[in-house]
Amino acid sequence: MSPEIVRIAAVVLVGSFMSVLDTTIVNVALDRLAIEFQRGFSDIQWIVTGYMLAMAAVIPLSGWLAVRVGPKRVFIGSMVVFTLASALCGFAWSLESLVAFRVLQGVGGGLLMPVGQMMLARVAGPARMGRVMSIVAVPMLLAPIAGPILGGLLVDNVGWEWIFFVNVPVGIAGVYLAMRLLPTEAPGRAWPLDGVGVVLMAIGIPAITYGLAEMGAQGTLTATRAWLPIVIGLILSGAYVAYAARRERPLINVRLFGNPGFAAASVTAFALGAGLFGGMILIPLYEQGPMGLSALETGLRIAPQGAGAALAVVISGRLTDRLGGGVVAIGGLVILCLATLPFTQLTATTSQTELMIWLFVRGIGLGGSMMPAFAAAYASLKHADIPDATSQLNVLQRVGGSIGSALLAVILAGRLGGGGHHGDVPPAARTSLPLPVREAMAEAYAYTHWWVVWLSASALVPAVVLAVVERRARRMRATEAVVVPTPEA
């Protein structure tokens, strides 16, 4: 691999790793933050949800910004915003200020990975794309393992603020390296920005998420605070679909949804995102709630899920080439659903060894379903549509994750009662609570995990459609590739 690719890859890895790490490092601190700000989990979840919504909002803008401003400037600017927002998160004085700074952090983090991938792809070219994508995958593989452990270590030893402060020196180093090592490209002439799309989607999707969160918090859809935001969000999203279908370069290329394979992959990505990110906030809270573990112990207990996902990504890539992404995604989803079922039986005395084994198997299901589903979607698309498709699948995954996190957090809070948290008792003292109290807590987590099962299972039907469409597309390509010999004169 050329020195130029190595230099760019090193900088991109720093930015991408920070961005992905912050989707997982915060989860082990949610219990501590609930105590710090005296708020229930239905409110605390906005620390996670706001970050993912902000990331989803800016990903479609990455291509336009890279052309209009230049990829190096966008990357450096995004890292500066992310680093500054991280520092502000550590100084947050209330939940509302922390959520606002997390949104700003998500704006910076959401641009780092797509712009970094763009720079790597340009310098590597098609012949070396496989090796480049393996580099890009490193943060996705390591962050789910390192995030909970690092977060637990910092929360237990120096305070929750340091899960954000830790980004500052890394970010400063990343900005310095980016300024020195990244190639400078002159800004180009970009297509007109879809400002209408930015406004409609920036209001519509968060409104739906807020309404669903309020539905869980109120326990009914009839409350005005629940149904009104959902209706407004659906109207704005529908208006954008009608508008974008007539626009040449929309923010979201809705015409791609006319392709059955891409439409099925989109539903799969959304459902998996909801189950994945929503489920990721439950186990850390369970471990620190009825089980009474510290943040570091929690991080170590949930690391096997990241290890299972990393192993599955490697294996599923090879299987996808042989069998097709749709078939592999179905297998991964079946494993994911079956491995989530044991979590619907959680108690205050569940074996930690058993829990870690099922987390590892669940990670295999996650790693064996998401990437193969993306790969299957590409099989039925034109080459020119792949950049838009990649952006939109990532957006849908994060929107699904934000809605899933909000929904599951408020369902959990409703089942826990008493304000929707574990009370002001620190985790270490919860093991001394009466067993019936701890069992009641554990029952709330068991019940909420049924929703994780349903969310994950809802991806099975579109995955089957995806497999059928992908097989048909492969058969058509194979037929077109057959060269019929012409008779010699």
Predicted pLDDT of residue 133: 54
- pLDDT at residue 125 tops 60: no
Tokens of 18: 């920070």
Instruction: Say which range, 286-300, 377-391, 475-489, has the weakest mean pLDDT.
Output: 475-489
Q: Which residue has the tokens 């190096």?
A: 72
| Residue 248 DSSP code | S
Residues 447-465: pLDDT tens digits?
999 999 999 899 898 889 8
Dihedral Cα 199, 205, 210, 211, nearest 10 deg: 110
- Mean pLDDT computed over 296-325: 85
CB 133 within 8 A of CB 58: no
Predicted pLDDT of residue 235: 93
- pLDDT at residue 489 tops 50: no
Count of beta carbons in the 10 Å neighbourhood of residue 485: 5
CB 26 within 8 A of CB 372: no
Dihedral Cα 304, 310, 312, 318, nearest 10 deg: -160
The interaxial angle of helices 3-21 and 167-181, nearest 10 deg, is: 150
CA neighbor of 53 nearest in space, from 407, 455, 400: 400
- Mean pLDDT computed over 143-167: 89
Between the alpha carbon of residue 439 and those of residues 179, 320, 416, the distances in Å are: 54, 43, 11
CA pair distance 426, 256, nearest whole angstrom: 50
159 SS3 class: coil
- pLDDT at residue 129 tops 60: no
| Residue 247 DSSP code | -
Output 143 or 95, whichever has higher pLDDT: 95
Tokens of 436: 């019936």
CATH fold of the domain at 1-182: Growth Hormone; Chain: A; (1.20.1250)
CA pair distance 66, 290, nearest whole angstrom: 48
Predicted pLDDT of residue 201: 82
Count of beta carbons in the 10 Å neighbourhood of residue 479: 8
Dihedral Cα 415, 350, 329, 312, nearest 10 deg: 130
- pLDDT at residue 105 tops 90: yes
Predicted pLDDT of residue 426: 74
Residues 347-379: pLDDT tens digits?
999 999 999 999 999 999 988 888 788 777 777
CA pair distance 272, 404, nearest whole angstrom: 9
CA pair distance 344, 357, nearest whole angstrom: 15
Residue type for position 369: S
- pLDDT at residue 380 tops 80: no
- Mean pLDDT computed over 431-456: 90
Residues 249-277: pLDDT tens digits?
888 888 888 888 888 888 888 888 888 88
Predicted pLDDT of residue 225: 78
Fold matches, 1-182 and 252-489:
yes
Predicted pLDDT of residue 256: 86
CA neighbor of 140 nearest in space, from 358, 306, 274, 273: 306
Contacts of 318 (CB under 8 A, 6+ apart): none
Predicted pLDDT of residue 353: 93
Between the alpha carbon of residue 442 and those of residues 126, 204, 281, 289, 449, the distances in Å are: 51, 35, 14, 8, 11
> What are the start-end ranges of the H helices in 91-188?
95-124, 129-157, 162-165, 167-181
CA neighbor of 307 nearest in space, from 371, 356, 373: 356
CA pair distance 377, 386, nearest whole angstrom: 9
Query: What CATH number labels 252-489?
Result: 1.20.1250.20
Question: To the nearest whole percent, how much of the chain has pLDDT over 90?
Answer: 25
CA neighbor of 327 nearest in space, from 396, 375, 360, 260: 375
Residues 178-192: pLDDT tens digits?
998 888 777 767 677
Entry field: residues in the chain: 489
pTM, full prediction: 0.86
Every domain of the chain and the residues it spans: 1-182, 195-250, 252-489
pLDDT band at 102 (very low <50, low <70, confident <90, very high): very high
| Exposure string over 178-213, b if 16+ CB within 10 A, otherwise e | beeebeeeeeeeeeeebeebbebbbbbbbbbbbbbb
Dihedral Cα 249, 252, 253, 259, nearest 10 deg: 180
Predicted pLDDT of residue 56: 85
CB 459 within 8 A of CB 267: yes
Output 191 or 394, whichever has higher pLDDT: 394
